[in-house]
Chain A
Amino acid sequence: MDDKVVSRLTEICGADDVITDPQQLRTYECDGLTAHRCSPGLVVLPRSAEQIAAVVAECAARQVPFVARGSGTGLSGGALPRADGVLIVTAKMRRILAIDPASRRAVVEPGVTNLAVSKAAEPYGLFYAPDPSSQIVCSVGGNVAENSGGAHCLKHGFTTHHVTGLQIVTPQGELTWLGDGTGAAPGYDLVGAFTGSEGTLGIVTKIVVKLTPIPETVTTLLAAFTSMGAGGAAVSAIIGSGIVPGAIEMMDALAIEAAEAAVACRYPEGAGAVLIVELDGAEADVARETAAVREICEAEGAYEIRAARDAAERAAIWTGRKSAFAAVGRISPAYIVQDGVVPRTALPKVLDRISELSAQTGIRVANVFHAGDGNLHPLVLFDDKAAGEQEAAEELSGAILDLCIEHGGSITGEHGVGADKSRYMPKMFGADDLDTMQLLRCAFDPAGLCNPGKVFPTPRLCGEVPGVRHAPHPLVASGVIDQF
């Protein structure tokens, strides 16, 4: 890194908030997707929007690329640094600036964790609805960049439905507001266009989020089926009945086996599939819907249904589901976490095809997913010590994405494209589609300095390995967060 840049950024941020030591720089070499690594040229930890603006302006003036990083939990290499660039970490911008219960809004800094917003809103009977399972650590700035979802997005929507204003630093280093917090500002919806842009259009420095009344009642059901087909049919029947549950999650036999081994979740014995259905809302509604969901599950062949009567029982039901990703590490030395989407009605067909592919290749695939919105998270298991297994697993994992595209779905439902999946973008979108998206990029970042090389395919990224996970994410392993 150019000495002049280092000294200017040190002037701006103060020596304590600039990292140049190679050893320390290495701690930022990857995000939650450890397969992609690169030590950043320099790390800064600004404390204000004005500092970020000054840092970016300096980078822009000297043509130095820069990448934003929140908590580094991203699963697509979106926060992968550049060796020749500056990594701007928002970890020291963690203030909840204000809560306005009457407007049901909060204004927060980008480094605030997702869960902290809900905690701060709780005294007012409100919460921040998007709930990625990394919510204890992931930042709201990162959520905005990824348009993050969570198990309960089926009913409550994604980040983009809950953000009404953004203060950003443009890639030229100018501080500006997009939107005005109302959600109905005049002009183009730049808040909407920015959300989900994976850090490529600028750096978020303040966020206005909507808060939602905490549901009066929550009921959680666990239903066991002998086959995935029966479970899938129950999902379709629930959705078709006009009920919109808070969450519908599904696990197959292998995922259940792994969870059982890891956390002894004691799901019903012999289950080929379990469904977790959570209903939230007004008391009488939840009671009625719970009865209806029970009936539907029974009609579709559920042989055991449990209902959580209190928070402890609800937690017991969720334990298996929440531990599933990490638990797979117990039954396999290495695995790839895939993230793809299919229309809900295509779930049975796609799951059948995945098990065929698994049988043909002899590679085990555990299925854990957000069934309500067709968001699959197949875990492709392999032994990284055995010759050729990794390549075969990558191939299968890629074939699953092809399957999603074939059925009119998406290559990512929540983890983003980042550095990992840009090469799949041309499979989902035509050249004109990608060129048109690029226009937005050019409007914000004509110099191409803001998180370059992410989302859109460039020759430089061809042939990169997809995400291989050798062990659970360190945060999962240490029990800080659950992945599901």
Chain B
Amino acid sequence: MTPPDSRTTARAVPAELASACTQVALASQADAIAGRAARYLAAPASTAEAAAVLKAAADLALTVVPRGTRSRLDWGRPPSACDLIVDTSRLNSVLEHAAGDLVVSVQAGVQLADLAEVLAKAGQRLALDPPAGGTIGGVVATNAAGPLRFRYGAPRDLLIGITIVRADGTVARSGGKVVKNVAGYDLGKLFAGSYGTLGLITEATFRLHPKPAAAATLTLDCPDPQSAQAAAQAMASSPLAPSAIELDWPSAAAPLTVSVLLEGSQDSVTDRTGRMRALLEDQATARDTVSRGNAPTDSGTVLRVAFWPGQLASVLDVIRMTGADEGLDPAIGGSAAAGVLHVRLGAAAPAANVARFVDALRVGLGSPAEGADDAVRLLPSPASALVLEAPPNVRAAVDVWGPVPGLALMHAVKDQFDPEHRMSPGRFAGGI
């Protein structure tokens, strides 16, 4: 725990908090979240202790922001207030790995990498590979996913049970420890991607998969967006069960590639790689690993663009054209066939241009190209651009979330779970 700095030592930790948790301290400047200084820091080691902390916070009317490894704690909108940071680093036990059932229960502070090590011993894995790793709580709270999203989905798809603590300290569970279960509402879905605004996640149970013995990646150079879409589509609709289909286009002038990851037993991977290569007309080259087009690199702006996979070519065109209009040359990468791309702009990009780029991009994405399929036209807005990471000056200039479908109901959900708006206030869409 960071030692309190001189500016805050004057204040003492309130007795209610101190008695709720064995590890409480005054927060330091280093604990500030997106420039927002915190007052206190608590690190509970169990759900019960976390409940006591949140109960004390409720009694003291403190705003609360959960924190994992802080790998991306600045992303999204800065919280409008942050009296208390609940740090999950002591919630770090793997509670139960039922290998025979391919199920694991963990505390929220367990790091993805540590969990992977435990599971690998039994030849299993949690099929989630968000680029930045982080804690289970952080990964679930942001519903963060990497290339494996194509085959296995996001945390919401693998989560089968969850334990949360509400803003008032009430502990609640939903789901369970079995993969098939329809009893009650699925609160795990609600908390996956809630960015700490509905409550604190303390435990999660996941469905696991066998860890593949072998893997191979094929990469295809694509002359233009149209051929990238054709490649992604051919890979995705093949019977060869790819695990990931990733696009990488570092700049307008750089080569555009689409890679496909095949996993399984050695024999199976050898067969399927051969067949995939034939399907791609022998033009693909083998690579060691799938390119991590979406790994954060510098302190620039990162957007997550989600769209219908059949719109890939037009989405790429829109990004490039909109970028050119503002004199920007973004790096584009991500799960092409799952309809999720990350668009990255360097730290040097002027804030005003980035802001206009984001606005124009949303307009462009909102109106599917001429000749687009009928299906996509039935939706009012079948694509989105969410600003994940941005330097403070850019963040101040852009609308981080953009339009969100069902926002009125989201406000209603927030008002029910956190009526005093003390959990990560202002972080979320619509000022939630």
Chain A residues near B (Cβ < 8 Å) = 97-107, 125-126, 146-147, 149, 153, 157-158, 160-161, 165, 170, 174, 176-193, 195-197, 206, 208, 213-216, 236, 239-240, 242-244, 281-282, 284-285, 288, 341-345, 370, 373-375, 408-417, 421, 425, 428-430, 432-437, 439-444, 455
| Contact call B409/A444, Cβ cutoff below 8 A | yes
User: Is B275 an interface residue when CB atoms closer than 8 A count as contact?
Assistant: yes
| Contact call B233/A196, Cβ cutoff below 8 A | no
| Contact call B406/A176, Cβ cutoff below 8 A | yes
Interface pairs (22), CB distance under 8 Å: A104-B237, A180-B384, A182-B382, A183-B153, A185-B384, A187-B428, A188-B193, A188-B410, A193-B186, A195-B186, A197-B185, A240-B100, A282-B240, A282-B275, A410-B183, A417-B184, A428-B184, A436-B172, A436-B187, A440-B190, A440-B413, A443-B415
| Contact call B170/A436, Cβ cutoff below 8 A | yes
| Contact call A106/B375, Cβ cutoff below 8 A | yes
| Bound CA–CA A429/B186 (angstroms) | 13
| Contact call B186/A345, Cβ cutoff below 8 A | no
Contact of B181 among A102, A214, A341 (CB under 8 A): A341
The chain B residue sitting closest to A241, CB to CB, is: B210
| Contact call A196/B415, Cβ cutoff below 8 A | no
- Among B216-224, B302-310, B390-398, the stretch that binds chain A is B302-310
| Contact call A186/B179, Cβ cutoff below 8 A | no
The chain B residue sitting closest to A434, CB to CB, is: B184
The chain A residue sitting closest to B418, CB to CB, is: A439
User: Is B383 an interface residue when CB atoms closer than 8 A count as contact?
Assistant: yes
User: Is B133 an interface residue when CB atoms closer than 8 A count as contact?
Assistant: no
User: Is B154 an interface residue when CB atoms closer than 8 A count as contact?
Assistant: yes
| Contact call A433/B190, Cβ cutoff below 8 A | no
**Contact status of A440 and B143, CB under 8 A, knowing A183-B338, A187-B401, A187-B406:** no
| Contact call A285/B268, Cβ cutoff below 8 A | yes
| Bound CA–CA A411/B175 (angstroms) | 11
Kindly list chain A residues whose C-beta atoms are within 8 Å of the C-beta of B153. 161, 183
| Contact call B182/A196, Cβ cutoff below 8 A | yes
- B250-264 CB contacts (< 8 Å) to partner A: 264
| Bound CA–CA A181/B376 (angstroms) | 8
In the complex, what's the smallest C-beta–C-beta distance from A441 to chain B, in angstroms? Answer: 8
Kindly list chain B residues whose C-beta atoms are within 8 Å of the C-beta of A101. 237, 310
Kindly list chain A residues whose C-beta atoms are within 8 Å of the C-beta of B183. 410-412, 417, 421, 425, 428-429
Contact of B239 among A158, A216, A341, A432 (CB under 8 A): A216
Kindly list chain A residues whose C-beta atoms are within 8 Å of the C-beta of B268. 282, 284-285, 288
The chain A residue sitting closest to B267, CB to CB, is: A288
User: Is B416 an interface residue when CB atoms closer than 8 A count as contact?
Assistant: yes
| Contact call A170/B310, Cβ cutoff below 8 A | no
Contact of A242 among B123, B156, B174 (CB under 8 A): B123
Contact of A149 among B164, B180, B239 (CB under 8 A): B180
The chain A residue sitting closest to B271, CB to CB, is: A284
| Bound CA–CA A342/B229 (angstroms) | 43
User: Is B91 an interface residue when CB atoms closer than 8 A count as contact?
Assistant: no
Contact of B410 among A153, A190, A370, A433 (CB under 8 A): A190
Give the B interface residue count (CB, 8 A): 92
| Contact call B383/A103, Cβ cutoff below 8 A | no
| Contact call A344/B375, Cβ cutoff below 8 A | no
9 additional A-B pairs beyond A181-B375, A186-B386, A455-B184, beta carbons within 8 Å, are A103-B376, A185-B384, A242-B265, A282-B241, A343-B177, A414-B180, A437-B187, A439-B417, A440-B416
| Bound CA–CA A345/B96 (angstroms) | 14
In the complex, what's the smallest C-beta–C-beta distance from B411 to chain A, in angstroms? Answer: 9
| Bound CA–CA A411/B180 (angstroms) | 10
Contact with A along B291-309 (1 / 0, CB 8 A): 0000000000000101111
Kindly list chain A residues whose C-beta atoms are within 8 Å of the C-beta of B181. 341, 409-410, 412-413
Kindly list chain B residues whose C-beta atoms are within 8 Å of the C-beta of A411. 183
The chain A residue sitting closest to B400, CB to CB, is: A186
Contact of B373 among A100, A185, A240, A432 (CB under 8 A): A100
Kindly list chain A residues whose C-beta atoms are within 8 Å of the C-beta of B101. 343-345, 374
List 10 tightest A-B contacts by C-beta distance, closest first: A192-B189, A102-B310, A103-B310, A242-B210, A436-B172, A98-B375, A216-B239, A100-B375, A184-B306, A410-B181
Contact with A along B90-122 (1 / 0, CB 8 A): 000000001011110000000000000000000
Kindly list chain A residues whose C-beta atoms are within 8 Å of the C-beta of B164. 436
| Bound CA–CA A244/B127 (angstroms) | 14
**Contact status of A189 and B405, CB under 8 A, knowing A182-B308, A345-B98:** no
| Contact call A184/B340, Cβ cutoff below 8 A | yes
Kindly list chain A residues whose C-beta atoms are within 8 Å of the C-beta of B374. 97-98, 100
In the complex, what's the smallest C-beta–C-beta distance from A447 to chain B, in angstroms? Answer: 13
In the complex, what's the smallest C-beta–C-beta distance from A53 to chain B, in angstroms? Answer: 15
| Contact call B416/A182, Cβ cutoff below 8 A | no
Kindly list chain B residues whose C-beta atoms are within 8 Å of the C-beta of A421. 183
In the complex, what's the smallest C-beta–C-beta distance from B369 to chain A, in angstroms? Answer: 12
User: Is B322 an interface residue when CB atoms closer than 8 A count as contact?
Assistant: no
In the complex, what's the smallest C-beta–C-beta distance from A15 to chain B, in angstroms? Answer: 30
In the complex, what's the smallest C-beta–C-beta distance from B178 to chain A, in angstroms? Answer: 5
| Bound CA–CA A176/B304 (angstroms) | 24
Kindly list chain B residues whose C-beta atoms are within 8 Å of the C-beta of A435. 170, 172
| Bound CA–CA A288/B410 (angstroms) | 48
| Bound CA–CA A429/B162 (angstroms) | 12
In the complex, what's the smallest C-beta–C-beta distance from B337 to chain A, in angstroms? Answer: 9
Contact of A433 among B172, B178, B267, B405 (CB under 8 A): B172
| Contact call A180/B383, Cβ cutoff below 8 A | yes
In the complex, what's the smallest C-beta–C-beta distance from A436 to chain B, in angstroms? Answer: 4
| Contact call A282/B376, Cβ cutoff below 8 A | no
Kindly list chain A residues whose C-beta atoms are within 8 Å of the C-beta of B238. 213
In the complex, what's the smallest C-beta–C-beta distance from B400 to chain A, in angstroms? Answer: 9
| Contact call A178/B186, Cβ cutoff below 8 A | no
User: Is B421 an interface residue when CB atoms closer than 8 A count as contact?
Assistant: no
| Contact call A288/B306, Cβ cutoff below 8 A | no
**Contact status of A374 and B310, CB under 8 A, knowing A429-B173, A436-B187:** no
Kindly list chain A residues whose C-beta atoms are within 8 Å of the C-beta of B27. none
| Bound CA–CA A244/B102 (angstroms) | 11
**Contact status of A100 and B310, CB under 8 A, knowing A343-B98, A425-B183:** yes
User: Is B381 an interface residue when CB atoms closer than 8 A count as contact?
Assistant: yes
User: Is B345 an interface residue when CB atoms closer than 8 A count as contact?
Assistant: no
